[in-house]
Structure 1
């Protein structure tokens, strides 16, 4: 049964990924909310999300899109961190949230080698999670929210003008006091975070130089150079450009792709799979890097409400 479901979705997936690779129509979209109205009449779906700004936006996008299609939605947005949200989905406490293919590949499936091709990386995660956990990954969004390290542009000369993660080896060796790093708790311990990055690049930040902070504070700390010159950032976060941070190139290609998909439990997908694909595939195609970064900036920098930002974007793109 799993094989039939995967093959049935492949044609629609190829079309959707092709659109996404081109950024959709002018990066936005045209979804046609009227076309989905009533598709989910009678459905009851619980929506969750992780606990950072981008996820709050994506969770509200799901909630509003499902409600527009007629579903009765229970709001469990801001479920918790990755482990909490994943456990809630696996246990059926929520029916859906947006998960990143790189997170599944490295953290859930304990793989060590990311796949560079975005379609292949998605497909292997989709197929494996379906086979092992009866979870259904819809087509991925176009944007990639991978990890990176960044520093304040004004500090470039003092830090030796690093451009790549490899360049940090020289700084750590020659001026270790300047090799200070702020990270959030997950990144400090994840295989696809700091430990794996240091192993790949062959250096290690002095342990006293690594400070664990809340995600939002990491950005301001890096921007101010206090208590760290470098900070862990997400590449689709609007604060990167707003705070004039320089992102170091991952020249060894360590960090996996992190294209997110709406993931659904088997109970919901078995009954409404075609309808969910019709609702979410155009949304995913329209969520380009530029679009998601702009949405994140409205929440993280301008402090707008994630629900309002999600509703504005869905309305502007005719999804609701």
Structure 2
């Protein structure tokens, strides 16, 4: 028997690997760690020295970029920040906020309205946000700050050349194509497949039933390339993802207005907010600067170009003068 394969050495190696795994698991985000963000224009208006925050996010690129923006912004005004970016899906991340595992994260108005409050009313986003602020504070102790200027709603995309060849411009066109029985897979990610405001509602709104064998449930990150490669004819994606222009995909118009608005808003526990309400002044100028094009570009740097989300976030904040 080779010495490195002896039972004792194998046991010791297993124990060492277990310790390494535990350390790595407890240090999420360590690989992207580095110096604290230096002071910039945010620090001229706000001082959060002595305050502590645990910042979380959901598990996709846009959320991780927003999380890293939040971490750097709070560091730049003197706060002590724990990076818990990439907590999990919507329900897991929301529960982490409610239970106090994290202090804040960016949530979307549409997600909170349809999934958390179980609302089916179609209201303008201004009214949705107004109700969310009132009800989430009263019922759950969650404060909604200023929303950003972009809409990360659901969208369906088709490869640009295929969209032209088949005359696909709208989701109504997609529905007619599916009803015709012509070949082509509809690819959706897990949440959209299971949520009431996802594929089920879309089929009702557009009077179409997609045959089960023509639905493929994929990780969202795979849908973009799979659609560009022709594996998926129709792909469900986030409207702000930078891979849409990068891969030459065409967004189909939601001509019946089915998908509600998904404005991104920092949400923070009331007890954390009440310690230092001026935290809202940190996020207000950032939210105002995050428009649709900016977010799509930031997302593209991570999703399409492979850059580290932490670097992308800090470069953008520094370019805007928010941090040093």
* Deviation digits for residues 183-221 of structure 1 (CA, Å, limit 9, x no counterpart): 111111111211111111111111101111111111111
**Matches of residues 1-320 of structure 1 in structure 2 within 5 Å?**
32-36=41-45, 39-116=47-124, 118-158=125-165, 160-178=166-184, 180-226=185-231, 228-273=232-277, 275-320=278-323
Q: How big is the shift at 1:114?
A: 3.0
SS state at 1:267 partner: helix
Deviations along 1:134-157, one digit per CA (max 9) or x if unpaired, are 100001000100001110011125
Distance in 2 of aligned mates of 1:191 and 1:237: 23
Contact 1:114 1:255 in 2 (8 A): no
Inter-partner Cα distance in structure 1 for 2:146 and 2:49: 23
Normalising to structure 2: TM-score of the pair? 0.85
Question: How far is the alpha carbon of 1:281 from its aligned partner?
Answer: 0.5
* CA distance in 1: counterparts of 2:309 and 2:122, whole angstroms: 31
Aligned residues: 284
- Aligned Cα root-mean-square deviation (Å): 1.3
Match of 2:100, SS state, is coil
SS of the aligned residue for 1:66 comes to helix
List per-residue Cα deviations over 1:107-143 (Å, max 9, x = no partner). Answer: 0011113323x32222121211111111000010001
Is the CA contact (8 Å cut-off) linking 2:163 and 2:169 kept in structure 1?
no
- State TM-score, norm by structure 1: 0.86
- Say if 1:114 and 1:254, in contact at 8 Å, map to a contact too: no
Partner Cα separation in structure 1 for residue 258 and residue 175 of structure 2: 15
Cα displacement string for residues 220-275 of structure 1 (whole angstroms, at most 9, x for unaligned residues) = 1111111x2010111110001111111111111111111111100011111111x1
Distance 1:289 1:229 in 2: 25
Q: Is the 8 A contact 2:104 2:268 kept in 1?
A: yes
| CA contact 1:47–1:97 (8 Å) conserved in 2 | yes
Q: Tell me if the contact between 1:106 and 1:114 (Cα under 8 Å) persists in the aligned partners.
A: no
Q: CA separation in 2, counterparts of 1:154 and 1:99? A: 34
Which one scores higher on RCO, CA 8 angstroms, separation ≥ 6?
A: 1
CA separation in 2, counterparts of 1:257 and 1:234?
A: 12
Other structure's SS at 2:55 match: strand
More displaced 10-residue stretch of structure 1: 189-198 or 302-311: 189-198
Q: Distance in 1 between matches of 2:159 and 2:297?
A: 20
CA distance in 2, matches of 1:204, 1:128: 35
SS at match of 1:102: helix
Distance 1:69 1:157, change over 3 A: closer
Per the alignment, residue 29 of structure 2 pairs with none
Q: Tell me by how many angstroms 1:164 deviates.
A: 1.1
- Unpaired runs of 5+ in structure 1? 1-30
Q: Which residue of 1 aligns with 2:12?
A: none
8 Å contact kept, 1:238–1:293: yes
- Which ranges of structure 2 fall in alignment gaps of 5 or more residues? 1-39
8 Å Cα contact 2:144/2:265 also seen in 1: yes
Alpha-carbon deviation of 1:169? 2.6
Partner of 2:7: none
